Amino acid sequence: MHPHLACFNPACRARFDINQVIYNCPNCGGLLEAQYDFRGAEPAAWKKTWRERRMDNSPLSQSGVWRYRELFPFLEDTMQVTTLREGNTPILNAPLAAQYGGLTRIAFKHQGFNPTGSFKDNGMTAGAAQARSLGMKRVACVSTGNTSASMAAYASAGGLAPLIFIPHGNISYGKLAQALEYGAKTFQVEANFDQILALVRVLAERLGIYLLNSINPFRIEGQKSIVIEMMDQRNWHVPDWIVLPGGNLGNVSAFGKGLREMKQVGLIDKLPRLAVVQAEGSSPFYEYMTEGVGKTGFRAQTNPETLATAIKIGDPVSWPKAQFEIETTNGIVERATEQEIADAKAVIGRCGIGCEPASAASLAGIRKLTAAGVIDRDADVVAVLTGNVLKDPDYIFKYHTGQLRAPNDTPINATFGNKPIMAPNDADKLAELIG
Ligand code: F0G
């Protein structure tokens, strides 16, 4: 059986050629996923090969994504790969954050160490490789910022023309600046993320542009490498929980698929529980999973609001996959307020680690889940920090100087604020101030 695309809808499960340019099932509209025949898997040999590749200087082996390509063998020819040495992100211990989160220990898998500063690079190298192997010339995405920064970099590095559509005024300058610097043709559209996505899907088809949004199944394949590398770094010892923020829900879908496949081929012996944390003002998946399943069904939110702009999404495309992965891993969905996210972020900063606002939802959620007794105090927890601290410096400055306000204009308390101190040009006065 060759790699193929399959409809994720259990009532359909139609199969398509892996190289067909489709983003949804042509029969039923369901989400698509890549499927492989893993019957010849050799988990022990693979583990050894993956370790050896770390010592090999070829670009493909140095990539923390392509090193694990046996688990996503959709490319006929790896010559199409553009790598910027993505992945290879550290797992960091943070005692202060553990204490804040109500845990005895915590480990952060920090995806902000990626070439463009977010986890999107793990998926983008895969999506861009598929675009090149299909012979595409132009690629497009709608983005709250990180996807566009990543796509711009991988497209430009690989000789593809990047087209970016972003909600006007709603992405951080750090991310917009990256898209411009990496040479993307950038459209700021007067609409929200969900509305723009609908627009771009029509345009992609009409103009023959390849879509690299998270609906693209190959990006999900690349993002599986985040949990594969995590398990490799932990010597294949599975944690009790993996906690991550949720927006469009592509990442949790990728984690779940990667974990299931690792278990299927015998790389790991059990599944960790997955916890997704959303921002309270943008939490349609939380609402669905806590109240809607079997009752109201999934309901999109028309006016999502959060300062964590990366996860300001009211109509997450991947919710059916995310639901399946949460249910399969006996996981949970939590949500956190603007204040909770801001404070958790400052605590992660004080650990000397730092992250962007959306990433801090992980720790904010953990704090609530330990308080509620859902996560044990002594549990082995890996929280994923999805983006780099420098993605949104404006937010940081406002928080520490007490100027941050929630979208509904309530002030955010600078609980862990750290204001810069105005100082005169005078050694004695400065000595006094230093104390
Ligand atoms: N954290 C960060 C920093 C993100 O940029 C995103 C998504 C998420 C978490 C949520 O991940 O969508 O897979 O559930 N950013 C997208 C973007 C939507 O366009 O950059 P998800």
Q: Report the atom number in ligand 1 closest to the C-alpha of 141.
A: 19
Percent helix, strand and coil across the chain, each to the nearest 5:
45, 15, 40
For 13-51, give the DSSP string.
Answer: --EEETT---SB-TTT--BEEEE---TT--HHHHHHHHH
Determine the pLDDT at residue 253.
98
Looking at the domain assignment, is residue 26 inside a domain? yes
pLDDT band of 341, cuts 50, 70, 90: very high
Between strands 161-167 and 185-189, the pairing is parallel
Residues 6+ apart with CB under 8 A from 409: none
**For residue 273, which phi and psi values (nearest 5 degrees)?**
-90, 140
Task: State in Å: Cα 215 to ligand 1 middle.
Answer: 12
- What tens digit of pLDDT does each residue of 100-139 get? 999 999 999 999 999 999 999 999 999 999 999 999 999 9
323, 286, 279: which is closest to 304 by C-alpha? 279
pLDDT band of 1, cuts 50, 70, 90: low
Q: Report the atom number in ligand 1 closest to the C-alpha of 387.
A: 3
Looking at the domain assignment, is residue 429 inside a domain? no
Looking at the domain assignment, is residue 271 inside a domain? yes
34 burial via Cβ count (<10 Å: 0-12, 13-18, 19+): buried
pLDDT band of 195, cuts 50, 70, 90: confident
Determine the pLDDT at residue 193.
80
Distance between CA 410 and CA 404 in Å, rounded? 9
Q: Report the atom number in ligand 1 closest to the C-alpha of 246.
A: 14
Determine the pLDDT at residue 293.
84
Looking at the domain assignment, is residue 127 inside a domain? no
pLDDT band of 99, cuts 50, 70, 90: very high
289 and 390 in a single domain? The answer is yes
> Token digits for 374?
């859902």
> Token digits for 229?
């590398």
How far, in whole angstroms, is CA 240 from its chain's centroid?
A: 20
245 and 350 in a single domain? The answer is yes
The total number of structural domains in the chain stands at 2
Q: Is 321 helix (H, G, I), strand (E, B) or coil?
A: helix
7 and 106 in a single domain? The answer is no
pTM score: 0.97
- What tens digit of pLDDT does each residue of 265-287 get? 999 999 999 999 999 999 999 99
Looking at the domain assignment, is residue 200 inside a domain? no
Looking at the domain assignment, is residue 266 inside a domain? yes
Determine the pLDDT at residue 247.
96
Residue 149 clears pLDDT 90, i.e. is over it: yes
23 and 112 in a single domain? The answer is no
Determine the pLDDT at residue 192.
84
Strand partners, 411: 405
343 and 277 in a single domain? The answer is yes
15 and 103 in a single domain? The answer is no
Distance between CA 203 and CA 189 in Å, rounded? 14
CB-defined site of ligand 1, < 6 Å? 118, 120, 143-147, 214, 245-251, 310-311, 313, 356, 358-359, 386-387
Task: State in Å: Cα 298 to ligand 1 middle.
Answer: 20
Determine the pLDDT at residue 261.
98
Looking at the domain assignment, is residue 132 inside a domain? no
User: CATH no. for residue 246?
Assistant: 3.40.50.1100
Q: Report the atom number in ligand 1 closest to the C-alpha of 358.
A: 1
Determine the pLDDT at residue 304.
93
Task: State in Å: Cα 308 to ligand 1 middle.
Answer: 10
Task: State in Å: Cα 247 to ligand 1 middle.
Answer: 5
334 and 225 in a single domain? The answer is yes
**Enclosing domain of residue 6:** 1-35
Task: State in Å: Cα 389 to ligand 1 middle.
Answer: 15
- What tens digit of pLDDT does each residue of 402-419 get? 999 999 999 999 999 999
- What tens digit of pLDDT does each residue of 165-182 get? 988 877 888 999 999 999
- What tens digit of pLDDT does each residue of 214-224 get? 889 999 999 99
Q: How many percent of the chain have pLDDT more than 90?
A: 91
Looking at the domain assignment, is residue 148 inside a domain? no
25 and 110 in a single domain? The answer is no
Q: Is 291 helix (H, G, I), strand (E, B) or coil?
A: helix
363 and 287 in a single domain? The answer is yes
